[in-house]
Structure 1
Amino acid sequence: MDAASTFAADSRRPITVRLATPRGFCAGVDRAIQIVERAIERFGAPVYVRHEIVHNRHVVERLKALGAVFVKELDECPDDRPVVFSAHGVPKSVPAAARSRQMLFLDATCPLVSKVHVEAERHHAAGRHIILIGHAGHPEVVGTMGQLPAEAISLIETVGDAETFARPGDAPLAYVTQTTLSVDDTAEVLAVLKRRFPELPDPHKEDICYATTNRQEAVKRLADGSDLVLVVGSPNSSNSVRLVEVALRAGARDARLVDDASHVDWSWFDGVRTVGVTAGASAPEPLIEALIEALRARFDATVVEDDGERETVAFKLPRALTA
């Protein structure tokens, strides 16, 4: 009997599916998507969006179908159509340019990212040099660094960077972080910085957002006892990629990122009795539901929802869309 026949004969074997709580959309993502949807309803199509509103291919394609046009830079947008800035935030120069062109713009920056911007500006006003812990080139990092003069902020990505960072001059130091980082990785970087620069103050509030923290804690629980963890999310989603890393570090035998159910390689399930399922903060719930149905189609699946943090956070929409 060949491998395909063996799998077919065994395809209805029992399997336990553990579903993470919380998972999927966070309040910032939900708000950003609503801003694009409401803008199209109020102003008609097209509505321009600078960068992907959130990092999920399915969300972007659905909004394109409604009339959103995604561009890389503001100069690709006409003056007479609304433009939305993505949830990741933008450098100060972007809204300044929009104002100079008298454009109608809507800022979908997550309020928790905006909080980091405010914190960085507060440190700068106090004369501190700011260390930003994050990933180079990520839109959120570009946006945060763009709040300040280039010489006022230094990016640190790794423990190695923290070991070799040289204080510019004699300025006191402060730090902020990208909101979607691995909590554990960030703690390792901070441990090095605190050892080298004991005077570093703690952040006013934790920069890694509640949704990132909650989803990472949930995936740690999944990893304990799961042979395989599937994370629904797009490859360019920082928080989704981190969930895979966290699952592996927490003890999962295997962990994979899948854009949707069609990206599952069913050979991953050889010997798997328990699979954990979660989703990044930019992945819509229907993708998770479709993955569960795909599992049920191939296995005698028992779905158990893990107990976790129940999120009730909601963010207000801009006045231009509610007045």
Structure 2
Amino acid sequence: MSKTPVTLYIANPRGFCAGVDRAIQIVEMALEKFGAPVYVRHEIVHNKYVVEGLKGRGAIFVDELHEVPDDAPVVFSAHGVPKSVPAEAERRKMLYVDATCPLVSKVHREAERHERNGYEIVMIGHAGHPEVIGTMGQLPEGRIKLVETVEDVETLEIGDPDNLAYITQTTLSLDDTADIIAALKKRFPKIQDPKKEDICYATTNRQGAVKAVSEKAEAVLIIGAPNSSNSQRLVEVASRAGCRSRLIQRASDIDWTWLEGITRIGISAGASAPEVLVEEVIAAFKERYDVRLEPVMTVEENVQFKVPAILLKDQE
């Protein structure tokens, strides 16, 4: 029996970004250098497959620092941590490695600079997300006000509208954020922009690639974790472009009945999803369909971040 032909439009760029690559590499190098177990505060990146793989090599994931023995090495996740966390590690004389993405660290420094210059600070982001908790925790409580929607801007109470600046989470929807920024500027005309866009290059690039794929496809599958902000935003980008879209963690999550009658399908992956999961999804399609692969390239990425010096010492 012949298979139904389908075209898979594969978004590029997709999957791992430089910050995620670096964070995983940090845990792997820490395991090599210090030996197992190495503790990791929070999921190093939001992907179950990656986390399980590192657990298998001797990483132990915990929610808070008090779960880590004083004499064990600990890695802080790519999303960043409040200042209280390294301060507590220093107090306990712990060996710690900070895997915060350098682009998240940039936003941290920005918040500190605004504070030094006497500005009130508004953060655009999702309440409860580790990155938002980490960024807001760079300053004393209450110094950064969080807005999630255009509606939040309307009820925002600011003491001095002439000395106001905003920062953003790095993994937001470009379109949604633009609407919130427009609302902030309308209400507070003197609000200061970031010197350079806070939403990171990888988020921007992946959303652009999904938009391009959505112009060709009837439905889009995004590979990523439910708690991954950048993956959820990719689903929204495809929906906004008029495509049916769903988030899946693995090939086993594909709802084949949902795809019945569809012959043009887009595939992308969030910044914390490894390429092996993309290959797994493509293989699942090949089992059922006569597949034609069509890459959709929007921009080439060549960003790399250095790992912390503590992991390189003694490696002559």
Residue 313 (1) aligns with residue 308 (2): no
Aligned to 1:285: 275
Q: TM-score, normalised by structure 1?
A: 0.95
Aligned to 1:6: none
Q: Does the 8 Å CA contact 1:50/1:85 hold for their aligned counterparts?
A: yes
* Cα distance change on mapping 1:170 and 1:16 into 2, 3 Å: closer
Aligned to 1:220: 211
Q: Secondary structure at the match of 1:283?
A: coil
Q: Does the 8 Å CA contact 2:161/2:191 hold for their aligned counterparts?
A: no
Distance, in Å, in 1 between the alignment partners of 2:142 and 2:18 is: 33
Structure 1 residue 225: Cα displacement: 2.2
Aligned to 1:269: 259
Aligned pairs (5 A) from 1:1-323: 12-169=3-160, 172-252=163-243, 254-323=244-313
- Residues 261-292 of structure 1 show CA distances to partners (whole Å, capped at 9, x for unaligned) of 00001012112110000000000000000100
Q: Does the 8 Å CA contact 1:87/1:109 hold for their aligned counterparts?
A: yes
Distance, in Å, in 2 between the alignment partners of 1:102 and 1:27 is: 30
Distance, in Å, in 1 between the alignment partners of 2:293 and 2:304 is: 28
Give the partner amino acid of 1:181. Answer: L
Structure 1 residue 111: Cα displacement: 0.1
- Give the number of equivalent residue pairs: 313
Q: Secondary structure at the match of 2:12?
A: coil
Distance, in Å, in 2 between the alignment partners of 1:165 and 1:250 is: 31
Identity percentage of aligned residues: 62
Q: Does the 8 Å CA contact 1:129/1:171 hold for their aligned counterparts?
A: no
Q: Does the 8 Å CA contact 2:212/2:298 hold for their aligned counterparts?
A: no
**Which structure 1 residue ranges, 5 or more long, are not aligned?**
1-8
Structure 1 residue 170: Cα displacement: 5.8
- Residues 174-202 of structure 1 show CA distances to partners (whole Å, capped at 9, x for unaligned) of 00000000000000001100000000122
Q: Secondary structure at the match of 2:297?
A: coil
Q: Does the 8 Å CA contact 1:183/1:208 hold for their aligned counterparts?
A: yes
* Cα distance change on mapping 1:209 and 1:170 into 2, 3 Å: closer
Q: Does the 8 Å CA contact 1:127/1:171 hold for their aligned counterparts?
A: no
* Cα distance change on mapping 1:231 and 1:170 into 2, 3 Å: closer
Distance, in Å, in 2 between the alignment partners of 1:170 and 1:114 is: 26
Give the partner amino acid of 1:136. Answer: A
Distance, in Å, in 1 between the alignment partners of 2:160 and 2:102 is: 33
Q: Secondary structure at the match of 1:276?
A: strand
Distance, in Å, in 1 between the alignment partners of 2:219 and 2:104 is: 32
Structure 1 residue 300: Cα displacement: 0.4
- Residues 29-62 of structure 1 show CA distances to partners (whole Å, capped at 9, x for unaligned) of 0000000000001101100000000000000000
Distance, in Å, in 2 between the alignment partners of 1:243 and 1:260 is: 16
